[in-house]
Structure 1
Amino acid sequence: MSDSAPRPAAESSGTELRVRYAGIGDEAGASLATQLAAIEQLNWTSIELRTLDGVPVAAVSDDEFERVAATIAARGLAVTCLASGIGNWSRPVTADFAPDVAELDVLARRCHRLGARYIRVMSYTAGGLDEREWGRRARWRLGELAERAEQAGVTLVHENCSGWAACHAERMLELAAQHPGLALLFDIGNGVAYGYRALTVLAEIVDHVAHVHVKDARGDKAEPVYTPAGAGEAEVAQCLRLLLDHGFSGTWSIEPHIAVRPHEGLAADTAHRGAHAPHEGFVACGRALERLVVEDVLPTLPGWSAVPGGLRGAGAR
């Protein structure tokens, strides 16, 4: 790893590298109870929070949030990341900036209460602006937010989803290099949905990736079909192997999109039932990730081993 491209600080302690499995809870169900039950069924110890009963985690009332935090703590689970709406597909760069600042302030406080470190953001849609002005405004906004996050003791993780830097490795690297309060979140399945090869982009940004979303897909950006890890065309095993080969230490969080896709208006309470019931599909995707790692990733990486809830390794190759 290059001296000029420092990795974000590892989530594990000491010299031992560790990867924790987690999942975005509302992909398993709307209620906190269902989300926690799915994580526990997988025998995992970490969860990522996006919505609770359909309400974004930043918009939950203080009293309800305190109940959520107490419940998670009582179950002995860790929260690895909080999703935000900052810069996402619903917020063009021409929209009012004040709600983004206010949301960050709420989520930073809630991160501290939960012991979470990361807040997921994106980099704004263009809102009709030309490329140059779009980039100028997106960079300024993310710079302001990253400085605020650093002061609050949390880290923004920029996802390769919608926005100015969504599909461009050089833009992601620019953001990460210029702002200590911002690192990169890499979603493996987004390459299929947005029309690029995930492995190619990951190879360019891997040393700045702090958090990972795991999904798989086949097809193209016109009509992606989401699948369990290893059943699609996103080269999930190769991406995970590359991360480990570069000393990644942190969380691999499943976001299956099998039954729940917020950007399409498909939520847990409206998703198909039967074979596509959110809870069952979420657990099946978690098991698929575990199998893929054991069968296709670890055999080429001596020193790494599967343990309950994640991976343990003696060091980077």
Structure 2
Amino acid sequence: MSGWRLSGFGDEIDPEPCVQLAVLAAVGARLIDVRSAWDVNIVELDADRLAELAGLVRDAGMAVSAVSSPVGKVDIDTPVEDEVERLERAVAAAHALGAPFVRVFSFQYGHRDPESVRDEVLRRLAALVEVARRGDVVLLLENESGLYGDQPERVLDVVESVGSERLRVAWDGGNFVRVGRRPFDEAFPLLVAHIAYLHVKDALADGASVPAGAGDAQLPETIAALTTSGFDGVAALEPHLAVAGRLGASPGRRDSAWRPARSRL
């Protein structure tokens, strides 16, 4: 993995950023992926807290690899203006923290036929991409179950149809396992050209999270193929090895504060 940069979701360690940073440094990371700090979601941190967090990261000799926002992890009927406003806050956080990437999602479709919401998903992602363009950041689209982009074919459709260098893929093999797909065999060939960020997460077919390499996410194959392809990006540890609150998991729910997993990375 020469040239790759190691990061990690700090809030899976502890709510306190100083603890997050210390543990990540201890495992050799020099980057942190910020989803929440002090038990507050990144899009809810005010300017003073963001400045404090930026100082802690700087004093630790580290940097922020991405702002992992919950934008788009809501029902497709949520007003798009609400998500645009939340993304604007996430972009402001990225600027305060010096992060080049902001994670987003592709909207929950509930009991609908996912194809029936395709056009609306594309319209919404295009609006989010415009925010990213104005803010000079890149959006990372994460695949997740129950969202339009839970299947690799639909992730590819979104990225290619929106057609912007401001929208790339955050690869999450564990999430593909949870929707019944073989990540490397079925999803990787479709998406490899669009991958800008790797979530190091593994899972079994029954949905249980397991240590990286111990599940069905085909991580060894994926890492080897990314290396061969010339990928030179970020691998972010997201082990989910403890019971975690899920960011905006309930349909239409958008939590501003939640209990993260407490995991040993």
TM normalised by structure 2 equals 0.89
Q: Deviations over 1:221-276 (max 9, x none)?
A: xx3221111222221100111111111111000110101533279834xx6xxxxx
Q: Is the 8 A contact 2:139 2:167 kept in 1?
A: yes
Q: Distance in 1 between matches of 2:176 and 2:115?
A: 24
Alignment match, 1:98:
81
| Displacement of 1:160 | 1.1
Structure 2 residue 71 is matched with structure 1 residue 86? yes
Aligned pair partner of 1:148 in 108, 121, 131: 131
| Displacement of 1:55 | 1.0
Alignment match, 2:37:
52
CA distance 1:130–1:226, change in 2 (3 Å): closer
Q: Distance in 1 between matches of 2:225 and 2:148?
A: 25
Q: Distance in 1 between matches of 2:180 and 2:56?
A: 40
Aligned length: 251
Root-mean-square deviation (CA, aligned residues, Å) is 1.9
Q: Is the 8 A contact 1:111 1:117 kept in 2?
A: yes
Structure 2 residue 112 is matched with structure 1 residue 120? no
Structure 2 residue 149 is matched with structure 1 residue 165? yes
Q: Is the 8 A contact 1:147 1:179 kept in 2?
A: no
Aligned pair partner of 2:193 in 207, 220, 223: 207
Alignment match, 1:30:
15
Q: Is the 8 A contact 1:259 1:267 kept in 2?
A: no
Q: Is the 8 A contact 1:176 1:183 kept in 2?
A: yes
Aligned pair partner of 2:159 in 176, 180, 203: 176
Q: Deviations over 1:67-112 (max 9, x none)?
A: 1111111111110111111111xx1110122221111111212212
Q: Distance in 2 between matches of 1:36 and 1:180?
A: 30
| Displacement of 1:152 | 1.2
Q: Indicate the SS of the match to 2:5.
A: strand
How high is the sequence identity, in percent, across the aligned residues?
Answer: 29
Between structure 1 and structure 2, the one with the greater Rg is 1
- Unaligned 5+ runs, structure 2: 251-257
Structure 2 residue 234 is matched with structure 1 residue 251? yes
Alignment match, 2:259:
267
Q: Distance in 1 between matches of 2:171 and 2:245?
A: 18
Q: Is the 8 A contact 1:260 1:267 kept in 2?
A: no
Q: Distance in 2 between matches of 1:133 and 1:191?
A: 21
Q: Distance in 2 between matches of 1:104 and 1:260?
A: 27
- Unaligned 5+ runs, structure 1: 1-16, 272-277, 283-317
Alignment match, 1:8:
none
Q: Distance in 2 between matches of 1:206 and 1:131?
A: 23
Q: Is the 8 A contact 2:143 2:172 kept in 1?
A: yes
